[in-house]
Amino acid sequence: MDATSFAASFKSRVTDVFNDAAPRYDRGVEFFTPMGARLVELVAPRAGGRVLDIGCGRGACLVPAATAVGAAGRVVGIDIAPAMIDEARRETERLGLGNVELMVMDAEDDPLFAPGSFDYVIGSYSIIFLPDSFAALTRFGKLLASGGKLAFTSPVFSYDTFPFLPEPFGQIITDEFLQHIEEEWQPHRIVERYYSWLVDREMLSATLGAAGFDNVVILDEPVQMVSGSGHDWVAWSRTQGMRLLWNNLPEQPRRELEKSIITELDSRRTADGLITVETPVRYVLADVASHRRTGTGKTR
Ligand SMILES: C[S@@+](CC[C@H](N)C(=O)[O-])C[C@H]1O[C@@H](n2cnc3c(N)ncnc32)[C@H](O)[C@@H]1O
């Protein structure tokens, strides 16, 4: 498949996965929720600030960002999956957050908004779903007003282990299972195709520099995922992007993989009866570079 057709196919599968996952997204076990809160804590949006949340999902960043900027601020959440926007809308209405606007939108649309419309562009575990992330990041820089900040999270990618998860998953999700997945959809192929710029810290800084940012800060910090059983963890893994892997496996290997993960995780239960999976997360923060500042938006 050529790059354009693969990107279209990737985007359509990703949208389907998150539409299906939305009602249970990050429930039972929590990973995205604490990660989103931590990202917003690192960004520390000021009261009255204008925030764009790319791939906002159910609101892991959106909700803490809306709280931080307060009634004088504004948070716009966009997501390609309508079911995610429905969930985020339910959540923000439940919390009575009147400073949030939600839109079903592809973050690769151009233009997304007027230049200089935001003080912060944030995106937790969402930039990784953009096939042309460099072009998207370059456009995000233009959406930022003078002094604006970009902040996002990603997995700590690696070429030599299963790319999205920490051990013990690299040892469990072996080639025996991966052989059932089409060559182009193999996790390591996706990393090579889309995430090589995120694997290496220097390349990440250089990419952001070329996209119009400076003062890049990269912080690798784990999120502790706590689950009551291996079964709960597997159920949770279907509520997020790993659903792509489950969807791509035929029934027999899928059942075997589920069993192997459940057995391994259950064997790691500690005295309190809980299982903790420590998952490294890469937090990336950067300022829009002075020569790229639009100057059209006033920073409050
Ligand atoms: C792993 S979830 C993260 C959601 C949220 N940021 C969080 O931390 O919980 C990735 C989100 O990105 C969205 N997404 C994927 N591709 C997108 C695109 N091209 N434009 C906008 N959103 C996209 C998905 O629908 C999904 O909601």
* Residue 213 CB less than 6 A away from ligand 1: no
CB-based contacts of 5: which residues, under 8 Å, 6+ apart? none
What does the pLDDT read at residue 239? 87
* Two tokens, residue 41: 């804590």
What does the pLDDT read at residue 295? 46
Q: Of 297 and 39, which is predicted with more confidence?
A: 39
Query: Could you tell me the distance, in angstroms and rounded to a whole number, from the CA of residue 15 to the centre of ligand 1?
Result: 8
* Residue 130 CB less than 6 A away from ligand 1: yes
Query: Could you tell me the distance, in angstroms and rounded to a whole number, from the CA of residue 23 to the centre of ligand 1?
Result: 14
Query: Could you tell me the distance, in angstroms and rounded to a whole number, from the CA of residue 54 to the centre of ligand 1?
Result: 7
| pLDDT tens digits, one per residue of 213-233 | 999 999 999 999 999 999 999
What does the pLDDT read at residue 159? 67
> Going by CA atoms, what residue is nearest to atom 15 of ligand 1?
129
* Residue 55 CB less than 6 A away from ligand 1: yes
> Going by CA atoms, what residue is nearest to atom 14 of ligand 1?
55
Closest CA to 83 of 102, 62, 60: 102
Of the pLDDT bands very low, low, confident and very high (cuts 50, 70, 90), residue 82 is: very high
> Are 195 and 157 a contacting pair, CB within 8 Å?
yes
For the chain, what is the radius of gyration of the CA atoms?
19
Query: Could you tell me the distance, in angstroms and rounded to a whole number, from the CA of residue 156 to the centre of ligand 1?
Result: 17
Distance of alpha carbon 178 from alpha carbon 218, whole angstroms: 31
Query: Could you tell me the distance, in angstroms and rounded to a whole number, from the CA of residue 290 to the centre of ligand 1?
Result: 29
Atom of ligand 1 nearest to the CA of 22: 27
Q: How far is the CA of 68 from the CAs of 58, 61, 103, in angstroms?
A: 17, 10, 20
| pLDDT tens digits, one per residue of 254-293 | 999 999 999 999 999 999 999 999 999 999 999 999 865 5
pTM of the model as a whole: 0.93
Mutate to test the pocket of ligand 1, among 18, 51, 154, 284 (most ligand atoms within 8 A of CB): 18
> Going by CA atoms, what residue is nearest to atom 13 of ligand 1?
55
- ∠ CA 84-61-236 to the nearest 5 degrees? 55
What does the pLDDT read at residue 163? 66
> Going by CA atoms, what residue is nearest to atom 11 of ligand 1?
55
Closest CA to 222 of 167, 273, 178: 167
Could you give the maximum distance between any two Cα atoms of the chain, in Å? 57
* Residue 129 CB less than 6 A away from ligand 1: yes
What does the pLDDT read at residue 83? 98
* Residue 14 CB less than 6 A away from ligand 1: yes
> Are 152 and 60 a contacting pair, CB within 8 Å?
no
Atom of ligand 1 nearest to the CA of 33: 9
What does the pLDDT read at residue 187? 85
| pLDDT tens digits, one per residue of 115-170 | 999 999 999 999 999 999 999 999 999 999 999 999 999 999 876 666 677 778 88
* Residue 32 CB less than 6 A away from ligand 1: yes
Per DSSP bridges, beta strands 275-288 and 144-155 are antiparallel
| pLDDT tens digits, one per residue of 5-46 | 999 999 999 999 999 999 998 988 999 999 999 999 999 999
| pLDDT tens digits, one per residue of 230-254 | 999 999 998 888 888 888 889 999 9
Q: Which domains does the chain have, with CATH numbers?
A: 3-157+187-225+279-290 (3.40.50.150)
What does the pLDDT read at residue 94? 97
Distance of alpha carbon 210 from alpha carbon 212, whole angstroms: 5
Give the distance, in angstroms, between the CA of residue 265 and the centroid of all CA atoms in the same chain: 24
Q: What is the dihedral of CA 242, 274, 22, 180, to 10 degrees?
A: 20
What does the pLDDT read at residue 111? 86
Atom of ligand 1 nearest to the CA of 241: 1
Atom of ligand 1 nearest to the CA of 53: 6
What's the average model confidence in pLDDT over 196-210? Answer: 95
